[in-house]
Chain A
Amino acid sequence: MSASIQVLVDGVWLTSFLSWGDLSYSRSWPLGCKEASWSITSRYGAHPTLLRPGAKVELRRGCRRVWAGTLQEPDWNGKDAQLTAKGPSGEGDGYQAFTNPAGSAASYNPYEAITAAIARGLDWKLTDSVPNYVLLNEPTDLYTVSGLLTATALVNSYRWGVDADRRVYYAMDKTANDYGPDYIVRPGVADLAVATDNYASHVVLRYEDVADNVVKTVSYPGLASAPTVYEKLYGRVEWAKSVVDLGPMATWTAFSIAAAIRNRSMSQPTWASGLSLLPGELLTRGGVPVDHARVRENQCVRVLGVHDPITHKRYIDFTIGNVSRNVDEKTLNIDPVDIAARTPEEVFTDLYEGEEL
């Protein structure tokens, strides 16, 4: 029998003082640890003071952390309660991006802004993956730490998240390498429905050039370039958007935004639904059944037996965008990245405004 997952609230093992169950948790890409929920029965009916909104929550398996976050207001019903915790990425919304802890100047360097926020109390740990340079044009607005990360990630098609050890990390979507993906789904276990609505072959942006303050147009891919494989398959749709509101920017910045939107919207077959898996249905690339506690966001899954019209392969690889696990029911739901934000407009809104995907 497998090792259990235990819940700690402000460092106290929940198992040590009350009965709890129905644990489920999710992690997403971007943002990392997303939500955890479970139900409790207070032994004597009293509402423990430990279970206060804002308490630090940790899910552990052995000594390994599998999820981290902050407790929300418990939903009490007599001596029973439904508890929910939110992941640590949102804590970055409560900190503005400054160059130093004293907040004397706005920062557009994510590493610098996080360092300063940590000094002011943000409970994150920095990793070297976070860019220690400015990728944005300097708008006059002040960003939140989370907003700055999201805006920076948009520009170079990265994403960011906070993991179960509260480490903030910044990465590209994980894809299969020469040795294969991280995980494999056997043929016949799951199907992926390809969605072709809201498709755009070209993303056209109107932006204000920082060099001469003239409104110009950029397109990705180029409007005159040879048709892409997507265009050949799904036809041509030019989708346009004005980003003049974002302030003057360099041509390459506008181009990067166009590319990011294009790459994350209907540029390739995308999925109308995710996978729902039981134990033993997901394998490592080495063929070993995957323990569900190990599945995280931004890992690459290969679904065998599904035809990919772009690559003409008999499989489809995707990056895990959301993974949610019901521990008692032993179910695992995996959604590909960008499953919900399929239209270019949604991608733009979500990426730029830092909403959850």
Chain B
Amino acid sequence: MTVDIYEPEAELFLGPLDLVGFDPESPFRLEALSTDGGTSWGNAGAIDVEMRSFLQHGSLVVTEGWENRVLTLAVSVTEDPGLAEAMLLSQLHKPNTVTYKPRTSPVRTVFQALTSTLVPVDDDLLENFDAEVIYQIKLTCRPFARGDDLITVEALAAGEGGQITATIEDITTGSTGWTGLAYKTSGGMVLSTDVDVLADGVEIAATLADAEITFFFTKTYPAVDTTELHYLAVEWRYNTTDKNSPTIKLRDPDDPAPVEFSAVASMVSPDDAGFIRSFYDISGLDQFTVFEFSGALGGASPTARMAVGNLALTNYFGTGSPRQQLRRLDLHGTMPTTGSLEIHHPTQGLGETLFYSCRGDSGGYNPACRSYLQPRTDPSVLDPTAVSGYYDPLMNSEPSYFYIPNAALPTGDYTILASMSLEGGTVTLNGSASAWMYDAPIGEPETFADALVVNSTDGQYRLIELGDIHFPVIKASDGSLSRTSVTISVTSSDFDAVFKFDDIFLLNLSTGQFTLLNCGTGEPVAGGPSNRMWIDSPDIGNSGQPEIWRGSAVERSDAVGAWIYAEAVDIHEFDPQYDVTTFLITLGPDTAPAVRFHYYPAFWYRAYPVEP
């Protein structure tokens, strides 16, 4: 006696073999049985590992991964059991899929079987009198279920690809409503209350030798609705030593207490020369009227200036210039997934390409550091071919200092790369980092590059590995005004050398992975320079091996294995629980390439509808 629990609308396939639909033409009949008959979806068993710890009660256990799922499908075979058995066996003992759609679900769930086998359930009576044989199909599957629609998501930054950016303030000459002041941080002596409205920002200038100056700007707007767009992008600039990234305060008209925010990410503004664009996560606030901005500068130079530029609301943080983009990949599903990551420029070879990814909850972490570069005696030079958009020439006596808030440096082991160009000579690089709390350096600087000699003759920007270091150099409590100061000095006795220092990139290898590949520059040609590259996750279809490819055709008809062009390869992770922060540098194209991820969303054991 068997019970068919599946309604006609329900579907259950093993590969192409229909296990519930009844085909009147078929010489045999296959019917899946209910859980009473032995069917089980199995479960992804967590691999928990006990760690040594100082816990006083109990032990520390962490989940390190998941075991394969074992799925059992019980089927009843009638009418021509021999033929049915042959049909079943043609689908077993190899990678296959089980596709399941309950009657009530609009989407199919797919289990990826690595292999499978058949276990007959002995029953003399059934077999002899009803010509019915019952089998259990045991399938060893990957731990998670997935949907059956391959979907594509694009990694985006604020304002890209249909993401929304709403301008709050577009400062031009004649902008009104701003007030502010500059005062000596210690004691509060007011130095200036003049807010100059310039063509690209509102600026306050103050003169005070050897003391810290706090700059404060404020403006009141008609109520700004922030329920939809959770990031506030603020552009600002300064001309002396920045004490730390500025903070903003917003005031909800219904709640007089202002709420303070620190930046979650900062980058050199791609649109407004000389400005830094900082993103503040203001989710939790529904609206605001009063905007306040305050930052502190070292007042050592004759006149310290700070300016606030344009303000906008966005639903994404991240930004970029033609050669580098900090973006976010919003993934669907509930469990870590795999797929194919594509980097694509419409017309130009990607050149040297660095793709870094890490969990999307890494605070204000941005591998690029130029927004933290302290102003130098000579202003940086605009250069659209530089990764950051600017360069500083060689200055033997003046190192470059980057002051990075520790909140923007997730704890871990970092590889430090630099982008620079050199023509006709040799330079020697030294790099070190030290910990600061407020104004005080702590401990000894850690050296990561010791007399590294670089020589090149072609004047092209290149990525150079400077060294490795643990950040933060010294642990500091969350929320403290701690920072890390990175010092890069470049010297040369070669007076003919034309040196351009672009930026440094801090890549956290404890929390992320990167792939570094040369795709060639210029017009894409099959077998030549490539305007596309793909990083494929290890997959069943490829014996569990990852792949990297470069080519130019969208359907990969001219893609070649790119391992020989790789300087670094890794297996990137895609977990929808945290989403993914992506950081891309391409030294080839003049405009930003797209980053896309093609994948099946993964679920614990039932797929649900997703909107790509």
Contacts and interface: CB of A to CB of B under 8 A. Distances in A.
A63 B567 contact: yes
A129 to B, nearest CB: 11
Interface of B: 51-52, 54, 411-413, 415, 417, 435, 443-444, 465, 468, 470-475, 507, 509-514, 516, 543-547, 561, 563-564, 566-571, 573
A15 B546 contact: yes
B563 A13 contact: yes
Specify the main secondary structure of chain B where it touches its partner.
strand
Contacts of B413: 2, 290-291, 293-294
A282 to B, nearest CB: 11
B465 A177 contact: no
A47 interface: no
Given A43-B543, A63-B568, A278-B51, 18 more contacts: A1-B573, A3-B514, A6-B569, A17-B545, A19-B543, A61-B415, A62-B568, A179-B444, A285-B443, A286-B435, A286-B470, A288-B472, A288-B473, A288-B475, A289-B411, A290-B470, A291-B413, A294-B468
Contacts of B51: 278, 280
Given A62-B514, A188-B54, A19 B545 contact: yes
Nearest to A6: B569
B568 A4 contact: no
B513 A4 contact: yes
B544 A19 contact: yes
Interface of A: 1-4, 6, 11-13, 15-19, 43, 60-64, 177-180, 186, 188-189, 278, 280-281, 284-291, 293-294
A188 B395 CA distance: 49
A184 B561 CA distance: 44
Nearest 9 A/B pairs, CB to CB = A291-B413, A286-B474, A287-B475, A179-B444, A3-B509, A16-B563, A63-B568, A62-B568, A3-B513
A230 B471 CA distance: 39
Given A3-B514, A63-B567, A291 B412 contact: yes
Residue from A19, A278, A288, A290 with most neighbouring chain B CB atoms (10 Å):
A288
Given A4-B570, A179-B443, A285-B443, A62 B509 contact: yes
Nearest to B546: A15
Given A3-B570, A4-B571, A286-B472, A62 B412 contact: no
Nearest to A277: B52
Contacts of A290: 413, 470
A189 B564 CA distance: 43
Residue from A17, A63, A64 with most neighbouring chain B CB atoms (10 Å):
A63
A278 B52 contact: yes
28 contacts: A1-B511, A1-B513, A3-B510, A4-B570, A6-B569, A6-B570, A16-B563, A19-B543, A19-B545, A62-B415, A62-B507, A62-B516, A63-B417, A64-B415, A186-B54, A278-B52, A281-B52, A284-B473, A286-B443, A287-B474, A288-B472, A288-B473, A288-B475, A291-B412, A291-B470, A293-B413, A294-B413, A294-B468
A2 B52 contact: no
B471 A63 contact: no
A289 B569 CA distance: 24
B468 A64 contact: yes
A194 B568 CA distance: 43
Contacts of B512: 3
A43 B544 CA distance: 11
Contact of B566 (A13, A179, A284): A13
Contacts of A278: 51-52
B571 A16 contact: no
Given A286-B470, A291-B510, A15 B545 contact: yes
A189 B514 CA distance: 33
A2 B470 CA distance: 13
B444 A177 contact: yes
A291 B472 CA distance: 13
Nearest to B468: A64
A63 B54 contact: no
Contacts of B571: 4
Residue from B415, B566, B567, B570 with most neighbouring chain A CB atoms (10 Å):
B570
A189 B51 CA distance: 12
Nearest to B575: A1
A288 B409 CA distance: 12
Nearest to A286: B474
Contacts of B566: 13
Contact of A286 (B475, B567, B569): B475
A63 B511 contact: no
A86 to B, nearest CB: 24
Contacts of B412: 288, 291
Nearest to B566: A13
Nearest to A4: B570
A278 B567 CA distance: 29
A63 B415 contact: yes
B542 to A, nearest CB: 10
B174 to A, nearest CB: 50
A55 B512 CA distance: 30
A240 B603 CA distance: 72
Nearest to A41: B543
Contacts of A4: 513, 570-571
A288 B561 contact: no
A172 B217 CA distance: 56
Nearest to A278: B52
Nearest to B467: A64
Contacts of B568: 6, 60, 62-63
A293 B567 contact: no
A13 B516 CA distance: 13
B570 A63 contact: no
Contacts of A294: 413, 468, 470
Contacts of B510: 2-3, 291
B483 to A, nearest CB: 13
Contacts of A16: 545, 547, 561, 563
